[in-house]
Structure 1
Amino acid sequence: MSSDAVLTKKVADHVMLVTINRPDARNAVNGDVAQGIERAVLDSEKDPDIWVVILTGTGDKAFCAGADLKAVSAGTAGGLSTPGGGFAGFVHQPRTKPWIAAVNGFALAGGTEIALACDLIVAIEEAAFGLPEVKRGLVAAAGGLYRLPRALPKAIALELIMTGAHFDAKRAFHYGLINRLVPRDKLMPEALKLAADICENAPIAVRESLGIARQALDLDDAALREASGVAARRNAATEDYKEGPRAFIEKRAPRWAGR
């Protein structure tokens, strides 16, 4: 389902594209964007044919400029979050499927936080990131203050958080924040290729593995060992668990059922 503020469509086998569609507002998050992204998450989770989701912004300037300050100044900032998903209906939304941020321009403040909440990032060379909230007397409360130090060396992350400075995509790629750094015309092809690479694998095995990896910095080894065992047992009950070894023995590509 699509709205004017958030567009969704299937763009390849098992791949959904979600686009923030407010280019005149630099794709800033208002209530419609928050509701639209949350709906896209819920729809993708319910659709067994969707294995990977790509998130991007309309236009060639901004992935997302963060919160719509007009909404904030009008006293409607509460609408920029949803009860289940947090800011943009996304940053705290439970998701089992991989999300790729295709960053087509600057991603500042909440835009950086949305990108950090995705699992992988593909960005154009002109992209920029940053948490400038402190410059405005605000706190980056949509996950950036703890996700950025996980993604970057601590000293670099702390400097960016305390100064509110922007950092360009080349520096972000150097420190491992970005998976792929590409020219503008290669952004969507590269994001689609990355999605296709993921889709070559058993979708439930990918989701179970991702679920453990997302908790790697939050749980101790004992808890992670237990969670890994539970994930492995759930995966062992699927048809794809049998299909993978069978395809290997028969020297053919596996035909994943996703169940």
Structure 2
Amino acid sequence: MTTPRSPFTGELAHDSAVLRDAAAECDRTLHELGPVAERDADRAARAERAHRAVRTLRRAFLRRHVSAVYRRATDDLRDSPRLTDLAAAATARFPGLLPEPARLAADAAVVQAHKEGWEIDQGIFFHAVFADPVAGEHLLDAMRRPTLTAAVLLPEYEATGRVTLPAVTLTRSGHTATLTMTNVHCLNAEDNQHVADMETAVDLVLLDPRSKVGVVRGGEMTHPRYRGKRVFSAGINLAELHGGKISYLEFLLGRETGYIAKILRGLSDDGDDWPPAPRTKPWVAAVDTFAIGGGAQLLLVFDRVIAAADSYFSLPAAQEGIVPGAGNLRLGRAATSRVSREVILWGRKIRATEPDARYIFDSVVEPGELDTEIARAAEQLDADAVIANKHMIVTAEESQDAFRRYMSEFALHQALRLYGQDVLAKVSRFGAAAKPEVGARR
């Protein structure tokens, strides 16, 4: 069998033109085939062939030119755009490399099963960017810069010690800053707003000189089944995923490279200050009732995890068909490779009182004792040497380079999983009529 000859020569201008023309031809074909929801089996197969052809070219183009693409999109590394802005800059400079804004907007208006699947094309792009050591490190550093929203709110937080966001409330008492997750109607299920608010709140804690220790806890629920009880997190909101409302860039990639990375590593350092000081702080998680999926992933980056004796954690993403963020990277290190496989591949739920819970929960107390245990942990971590030692522990356990390489694979395979037939079939159960507690799983 003869391997098809590549249309690329290695010359950037020529190869860009080839890719642009191929993408335009794909777009014409898709337009002729009509909306995804109206395609029969034959038209769906034709659409898949058109996508496959141009995606093959996009991967081949990026293998040759990702470094040049990234440098042009960032003004030779002088700019530090976040994920969405980087994608927009690359689209403007290299037509056909990524889907145009109009196509992304059209997809955003329909349910997941009726989307064209442009997240896969974004996944191809970010797979290549994260795989490149220079581009990937630069992008991860850009994502750990403080957000503009946090910069605007910082004076208010410094003055009052309180900021209320749609999904998170931040309060400071003494040196302890507490982030209370308040997506209470859906058991703190994660959506785009939740991710944005968590990053804003984490930034404020890291920027505020009076906040020495961060605490994350779930608020009291309004849902009838758990009314008046605190819940840590039910993971990704599957009703939102079914509705096509979960952003690939801002949620699925931005969550890992944004606020979770900031809890683990702190804010990125420009490297100009002397003496150098890590821009990180210690964090405590307090788990009430359960930490499911994304909530369980979150625990893996905290410096101290306290759990109520009646709580549990689980990572059911494999059963739902998706990849549990960076849980695959971190759970085996926190526990063992066997426990990691049991939880992620087998769907094991671990209760706080089980022996294996020690791998995740540092302290397990009766529900009524959580406040006291949180205060004790915050006091213990409010010490001068904690920040430097946390920085060195994280450096030893998970270098940003290791995380970069993981994110390269995650960017591609999570995008593909979003359109797996098993995923689409499962999330279709979580439409508008789904019960909130059922529609909130990761």
C-alpha separation between the residues in 2 aligned to 1:79 and 1:21?
A: 23
Distance in 2 between residues matched to 1:57 and 1:211, nearest whole Å = 26
Indicate the residue corresponding to 1:235 in structure 2: none
Q: For each residue in 1:121-170, what CA deviation from the matched residue of structure 2 results, as whole angstroms up to 9, or x when unmatched?
A: 00001111111011112221x21111111111221222111111211112
Comparing 107-116 with 84-93, which one deviates more in the overlay?
84-93
Supply the distance in 2 between the matched residues of 1:172 and 1:87 (Cα, whole angstroms). Answer: 29
Instruction: Mark the CA change 1:30 to 1:88 in structure 2 (over 3 Å): closer, same or farther.
Output: farther
Q: Is 2:261 aligned against 1:92? A: yes
Please name the residue that 2:346 is paired with.
163
Residues 214-253 of structure 1 correspond to what in structure 2 (within 5 A)?
214-218=394-398
Pairing partner for 1:209 from 389, 413, 418: 389
Q: For 2:206 and 2:371, how far apart are their aligned partners in 1?
A: 22
Give the Å deviation of 1:171. 2.1
Structure 1 position 61, deviation (Å): 5.1
Alignment of 1:97-108 (within 5 A): 97-108=281-292
Deviation of the 1:218 alpha carbon: 3.5
Deviations 1:16-49 (A, max 9, x none): 0001102220111112211111011111111111
Q: Which amino acid aligns with 1:66?
A: G
Q: 1:187: how far off?
A: 1.0
Cα pair distance change 1:64/1:83, threshold 3 Å: closer
Task: Indicate how the Cα distance of structure 1 residues 125 and 173 shifts in structure 2: closer, same or farther if over 3 A, else same.
Answer: farther
Alignment pair present for 1:181 and 2:359:
no
Instruction: Indicate the structure with greater strand content.
Output: 1
Contact 1:125 1:169 in 2 (8 A): yes
Unpaired runs of at least 5, structure 2 = 1-162, 221-228, 267-279, 400-442
What residue in structure 1 maps to residue 218 of structure 2?
Answer: 57
Please point out which of 68, 71, 88 is paired with 2:237: 68
The structure 1 residue matched to 2:307, chosen from 123, 128, 146, is 123
Q: Which moved more, 1:88-97 or 1:45-54?
A: 88-97
3-state secondary structure, aligned to 1:18: strand
Name the CA shift for 1:148/1:83 in 2 (closer, same or farther; >3 Å). Answer: closer
Partner of 1:44 in structure 2? 205
Q: Which amino acid aligns with 2:392?
A: I
In the superposition, the TM-score normalised over structure 2's length comes to 0.46
> What do the CA deviations read for 1:31-84 (whole angstroms, capped 9, x no partner)?
221111101111111111111000010122521001111211111211784598
Residue 139 in structure 1 maps to residue 348 in structure 2: no
- The verdict on how the C-alpha distance between 1:73 and 1:88 changes in structure 2, with shifts beyond 3 A counting, is farther
- Larger radius of gyration between Structure 1 and Structure 2: 2
Number of residue equivalences: 214
Q: Percent identical across equivalent pairs? A: 26
Paired residue secondary structure (1:63): coil
Segment of structure 1 superposing worse, 58-67 or 80-89: 80-89
CA contact (8 A) 1:82 1:89 kept: no
CA distance in 1, matches of 2:230, 2:281: 28
Q: 5+ unaligned residues in a row in structure 1: which ranges?
A: 220-259
- For 1:83 and 1:145, the matched residues in 2 are separated by 15
Label 1:209 to 1:84 Cα distance change in 2 as closer, same or farther (>3 A): farther
Helix, strand or coil: the match of 1:215? helix
Residue identity in the other structure for 2:319: K
More helix, by proportion: 2
Preserved contact between residue 191 and residue 237 of structure 2 (Cα < 8 Å): yes
Separation in structure 2 between the aligned mates of residue 170 and residue 80 of structure 1, nearest angstrom: 37
Residues 87/69 of structure 1: CA separation in 2 closer, same or farther (3 Å cut): farther
Where relative contact order (Cα < 8 A, 6+ residues apart) is larger, the structure is 2
RMSD (Å) for aligned C-alpha atoms: 2.1
Is the counterpart of residue 114 in structure 1 residue 298 in structure 2?
A: yes
Contact between 2:304 and 2:377, CA under 8 Å: does it hold in 1? no
